[in-house]
Amino acid sequence: METATATRAPPSWATRLAALLQRRSVLPTLLLIPVLVFFIIWNTMPTLWLLGLSFYRFSLTSGRPPRFTGFGNFQSILQDSEVWLALSRTFLFVFSAVGIETVLGLLLGLLFWGSQRLPGRRVALTMLFTPMVLTPVAAGTFWRLIYDPTFGVLNAALRGIGLPSVNFLGNARTAFGAVLAVDVWMWTPFMVLMTLAALASVPKAELEAAEIDRLSWLQRLRLVILHHGKFILLLGILLRTIDAFKTMDLIYDMTFGGPGSTTELVAIMLYRRAFEVFAMGWSSALAVILLLISIAFTATFIFVLHARERRSQDVPT
Amino acid sequence: MSGIVLQGIRRSFGNTHAVKETDFTFPDGSVTCLLGPSGCGKTTLMRMIAGLERPSAGRILFDGCDVTAWPARRRDVAMVFQYPVMYRTLTVEQNIALALDNARVPRTERRTRIEAVIDVMQLGDCRRLGIDALDIGTRQRVAVARAIARDCAVILFDEPTTNIEMHAKLQLIRAFKQYRSRLRETITPQTVIYVTHDQTEAMTLADRIALMRDGAIAQCADPRTLYDRPDSEFGGWFIGNPGMNFLAGRADAPGRVAFDCLPVSLAAPGGEIDGLRLGVRPERVIVGPAGCGGVPGRVLRRTLTVGGQALLLLEVGQSTMRARMSAGTIFDPGEAVSVHCSPDHIVLFRNGSRLSMSSETIEAA
């Protein structure tokens, strides 16, 4: 017995490592570490830094050190009528753009879905998706040239049919509509893509049953397509809403927020105050508010999405 | 309606012929089961009748009218799918009513029909529930209720019991049979086409069974005939659990053929012995103690099946065959037995096809 105990070798480091990895919690934790490190360095720390800065009065041009003001920056923002105007302009832009893109995307998606045997469908789809893959700066420059009152093709076309030239981006009445149209042109393909994905998630048997049950087009859309595809469609709407809320580069490139402030969305205002006026504390507070608004959008989306599940669980038995 | 007629119908996918050229008639008011192994083309055939699949060639006639090019919604058909297809945002009752609304059934008649199908499909307790609150078996009953309520000329069932558990399956079959007997008086008899690979289901439900193999209808007959007198060895093998025993014939005397399970030889039909095989169902093989007449045999293996029945694997001459025994009779492996096969229950095949047995052949046995 003693001999057996004496000759038993201690487990090697490889055996011990293998045993450690076999424990249920160790390997998943190890695999998560790189993602967590990345997330903390590039996401959590800047957010915390931003949050901290929002409580300070800090301007890069004053030369004075940051001074703690508590909720002073937030109070100043809430009392600033320009912020409220920019916010209302942004909401108008978001709801108009996302609304038009959703309706157009849904219609175009249904058209493409219904024309699966049509020759040239793939080419048409590729062309449709082109605007989506352009960088906003390139798209902005491209459209600025199209809208140009002297050399632009749009005005040339207007003149060609006997209409006067319009300074689309320089006129306060038309500038907002002009940039909105470019956003719709650029992002409707995204909603087409989401619609096609939503349609692909509808079980074929249900569509066939709807055909056999002689359901009308609207009944099919309501009872079958939207029922199955609503998650993907709502996800598309959410992503577009958050993205439209952040729109900056496209409009900045086309109008710089003008004429006056007619196209100055809140993201452009934030950029200007941070990198033209260098009011870092004030801009950080505004960024925190925008972050909270984005979180509110996401929370609403999740609530709407799970509302039906909750209702079905509440069905009396 | 005078039934559904298929004229030279065919469906190919590239070089694969899912349904080979077929001529067939589904009589008005009949229940026909399309039975066959997976991939034999039964679902494709049904989908062509429903209008969900366009035939590569041939014509489909409903009541003498060519409906081949008609879309599904224009044909007077209802269909129950393999998975219960429901409109999930509606209640059970609304699901049934929806099909009637779209068929423009008058309000009073609609109510009567809804009540009738809810009653026959036993959905009274859950009529106001949402679909998500139902189990899969009940959902399938709702799907059947929705299909039969429409009172279409044709109802198609595409393996409706494949995905539901046994109890729900029996409940559904019972409800279906009840519907056939009870609603027959109030609603016009509908032509039912029922696709399944479950032979028990086909035997239970069908007036006629169309047995399919490799994209063609191999035989169509009533369940009893199909079971007792299959046209081909395939039918004998596919139907029954286990399928038919097949024993090869050997020459005994000029023009006569002998089989290991029979004590005497038979007059070979047409005097030809080549390719002759005898088929007999396992439950038609009578096994008794050794020395009780018949032919001598030996038990190789014994298996107990559902209900305590015993399945014996027997060695008879140079052949092996299976016999199904009642629970009371027990023979052990290795035990010598005597085997009897009545000439009334044997079927002769030549090269896989059934031969009609003449009275001379039977008397000779």
> What residue of B is the nearest CA neighbor of A224?
B87
Contact of B1 with chain A, judged by CB distance below 8 Å, is answered with no
- Cα gap A183→A169, rounded to integer Å: 14
The partner residue sitting opposite B83, judged by closest CB among A205, A214, A216, is A205
Contact of B162 with chain A, judged by CB distance below 8 Å, is answered with no
The partner residue sitting opposite A208, judged by closest CB among B52, B102, B132, is B52
Q: Which residues from B are below 8 Å from A211, CB to CB?
A: 52, 71-73
* pLDDT > 90 fraction of chain B, expressed in percent and rounded: 37
The pLDDT of residue B361: 57
Q: Where are the domains of chain B?
A: 4-233, 242-364
Contact of B2 with chain A, judged by CB distance below 8 Å, is answered with no
3-state secondary structure A186-255: HHHHHHHHHHHHHHHCCCHHHHHHHHHCCCCHHHHHHHHHHHHHHHHHHHHHHHHHHHHHCCCHHHHHHH
Is the CB of A216 less than 8 angstroms away from the CB of B83?
no
Give the residues across from B247 on adjacent strands: B278
Indicate the range of A5-19, B190-204, B260-274, B293-307 predicted with least confidence: A5-19
Contact of A117 with chain B, judged by CB distance below 8 Å, is answered with no
Does A163 map to a domain?
yes
Does A4 map to a domain?
no
Q: Centre a 10 Å sphere on the Cβ of residue A297 and count the other Cβ atoms it contains.
A: 15
Is the CB of A223 less than 8 angstroms away from the CB of B90?
yes
Tell whether omega for the bond before B223 is within 30 degrees of 0, i.e. cis: no
- The alpha carbon of residue B21 and the mean position of all alpha carbons in its chain are separated, in whole angstroms, by 21
pLDDT mean over A201-219: 90
On the question of pLDDT at B58 being above 70, the answer is yes
At B182, the pLDDT band (50, 70, 90 cuts) reads low
Q: Which residues from B are below 8 Å from A215, CB to CB?
A: 98, 102
On the question of pLDDT at B32 being above 90, the answer is yes
Q: What is the pLDDT of residues A196-207, one digit of tens each?
A: 999 999 988 899
Torsion over CA: B351, B352, B357, B362 (sign): positive
Contact of A22 with chain B, judged by CB distance below 8 Å, is answered with no
**Test mutation, A213, A222, A228, A315, chain B, max B CBs within 10 A:** A213
Look up the CATH number of domain B242-364.
2.40.50.140
The pLDDT of residue B9: 94
Give residue for tokens 């004429």. Answer: A259
On the question of pLDDT at B305 being above 90, the answer is no
The pLDDT of residue A315: 44
A10 vs A3 pLDDT, higher one: A10
Q: What is the CATH number of the domain that holds A214?
A: 1.10.3720.10
Contact of B163 with chain A, judged by CB distance below 8 Å, is answered with no
Contact of A206 with chain B, judged by CB distance below 8 Å, is answered with yes
Helix (H, G, I), strand (E, B) or coil at A6: helix
pLDDT mean over B243-265: 86
Does A311 map to a domain?
no
Q: Which residues from B are below 8 Å from A227, CB to CB?
A: 87-89
Residue B140 C-alpha, separation from nearest chain A C-alpha, in angstroms:
13
Q: What is the pLDDT of residues B65-111, one digit of tens each?
A: 999 999 998 998 999 998 888 888 899 999 999 888 887 888 888 88
Does A265 map to a domain?
yes
**Test mutation, A206, A212, A215, A216, chain B, max B CBs within 10 A:** A212
- Cα gap A204→B233, rounded to integer Å: 37
> What residue of B is the nearest CA neighbor of A316?
B129
pLDDT mean over A32-42: 93
The pLDDT of residue B7: 95
At B172, the pLDDT band (50, 70, 90 cuts) reads confident
Is the CB of A211 less than 8 angstroms away from the CB of B98?
no
pLDDT mean over B11-33: 91
Most confident of A10-19, A166-175, B190-199: A166-175
Is the CB of B102 less than 8 angstroms away from the CB of A208?
no
Domain of residue A214, residue span: 89-305
> What residue of A is the nearest CA neighbor of B49?
A212
Is the CB of B85 less than 8 angstroms away from the CB of A209?
yes
Q: What is the pLDDT of residues A252-279, one digit of tens each?
A: 999 998 898 999 999 999 999 999 989 9
Fold of B4-233: Rossmann fold (3.40.50)
The pLDDT of residue B106: 86
> What residue of A is the nearest CA neighbor of B143?
A209
Is the CB of B133 less than 8 angstroms away from the CB of A215?
no
Chains A and B: how many Cβ contacts under 8 Å?
61
Indicate the range of B38-42, B270-274, B330-334 predicted with least confidence: B270-274
Model pTM? 0.75
pLDDT mean over A278-287: 94
CB contact set of A207 (below 8 Å; sequence gap of 6+)? A220, A224
CB contact set of A55 (below 8 Å; sequence gap of 6+)? A68, A69, A70, A71, A72, A73, A281, A285
Q: Based on the structure, what is the number of domains in chain A?
A: 1
**Test mutation, B48, B53, B85, chain A, max A CBs within 10 A:** B85
- Cα gap B46→B52, rounded to integer Å: 9
A168 vs B76 pLDDT, higher one: A168
What is the bridge-based pairing of β-strands B31-35 and B16-26?
unpaired
Q: Tell me phi and psi for residue B122, to 5 degrees.
A: 55, 55
Which tokens in the block code for residue B50? 């429903």
At B113, the pLDDT band (50, 70, 90 cuts) reads confident
Is the CB of B102 less than 8 angstroms away from the CB of A215?
yes
Is the CB of B79 less than 8 angstroms away from the CB of A212?
yes
Contact of A221 with chain B, judged by CB distance below 8 Å, is answered with no
CB contact set of A141 (below 8 Å; sequence gap of 6+)? A253
The partner residue sitting opposite A214, judged by closest CB among B73, B83, B89, is B73
The pLDDT of residue B183: 56
On the question of pLDDT at A311 being above 80, the answer is no
Q: What is the pLDDT of residues A137-153, one digit of tens each?
A: 999 999 999 999 989 99
Contact of A218 with chain B, judged by CB distance below 8 Å, is answered with no
> What residue of B is the nearest CA neighbor of A309?
B132
The pLDDT of residue A1: 43
| Average model confidence (pLDDT) across chain A | 89
Contact of B76 with chain A, judged by CB distance below 8 Å, is answered with no
The pLDDT of residue B117: 86
Number of C-alpha atoms within 13 angstroms, CB side, residue A213?
32
- Cα gap B226→B206, rounded to integer Å: 12
The partner residue sitting opposite A213, judged by closest CB among B89, B102, B133, is B102
Does A5 map to a domain?
no
